[in-house]
Amino acid sequence: MQCSIETVMAGLCGNVEGIRSALYDALTPLGFEVYPFKIGWYNAVLSSSLHLPYADDTLAVVVLSTPSMFERTFRPFLESGGCVSVNDPIDQSIRHYINNCVSQCFPGQEVNISYDYEMLPSRKPKFLAQTAAHVAGAAYYYQRADIAVNPWGEKKMFGVCIHPKLGGWFAIRALLVFPGVVVGEELQQRPPPDCVPSQESRVELLERFNLRWKDGSYRDIVPAAERYSQEQQTYFSTPPGQRMALLRQWGLFSGAGSGTQAGEPGSERGNFES
């Protein structure tokens, strides 16, 4: 559904279902998934220094990219010459499509958009993407605490979200907050599917994600309905500083100058592309 001024006036885009379906209709064809949740669900699992500064009943939506995002938006974005700045091309593309979608679907409505790579002045991420995906019911966030007896001693082990249909073949890209939209009983929290239920498989998952993340095998911890194309895998396994050269080689980028690349000082994104 495209939200015209009439639909906004009619209240269709001021309620959860209107907002969810507008985003769903606009973003699903582009290879994204959207999951609404209440800010209170997110803040409930975090210490106050990490809280998002909104009332508990405020509507938020977490946006995931699926494997087809690469072909449905990234390639067309590059082919149309959309990649203009020195920042990470995937980030530019995603920002372009999500910003456009929000301004077309919700003209005149306040929507605060944060991207996964954006940091606060304190150097903390603007939002914890995995926590948001978990509380929204999108993808279970498997953490060290989900393992009763862990074999790693004091070693830091990062957690990872697993999607019931896509396994690890997705990324968490953005958080949309609708400060003016108060959510009531119509939105009920549902736990994300626990698709890695056994202790052994959870240990295996965290080991793959922490010790062998480069081989991508954590993504296949459950059978996935869709995976990244070979081209997309080649792109993401190329060090960020060499991706512009790869795009040039593929004929997808003709801009001059090497610019600052993702992962290099001065770029928006560190070296944690997904």
Q: Which residues of the chain form contacts with ligand B12 (CB under 6 A)? A: 45-47, 50, 116, 125, 127-131, 134-135, 141, 143, 158-161, 168, 171-173, 209-210, 213, 270, 272-274
Alpha helices in 106-229 (DSSP H): 129-135, 199-211
Least distance from ligand B12 to the Cβ atom of residue 135, Å: 6
Q: Is 64 within 8 Å of 173 (Cβ atoms)?
A: yes
Angle formed at CA 74 by CA 68 and CA 75, multiple of 5 degrees: 95
Least distance from ligand B12 to the Cβ atom of residue 165, Å: 13
Q: Is 22 within 8 Å of 47 (Cβ atoms)?
A: no
Shorter beta-carbon distance to ligand B12: residue 10 or 46: 46
Shorter beta-carbon distance to ligand B12: residue 23 or 133: 133
Least distance from ligand B12 to the Cβ atom of residue 143, Å: 5
Rounded Cα–Cα distance for residues 253 and 231 (Å): 15
Shorter beta-carbon distance to ligand B12: residue 57 or 215: 215
Structure token pair of residue 146: 């989900």
| Residue 271 burial (CB count, 10 A) | 12
**70-87: string of b/e by CB count within 10 Å (b at 16+)?**
bebbbbebbeeeebeebb
Least distance from ligand B12 to the Cβ atom of residue 79, Å: 24
- Least Cα distance to 191 among 144, 128, 140 occurs for 140
Shorter beta-carbon distance to ligand B12: residue 14 or 202: 202
Shorter beta-carbon distance to ligand B12: residue 241 or 255: 241
Shorter beta-carbon distance to ligand B12: residue 77 or 117: 117
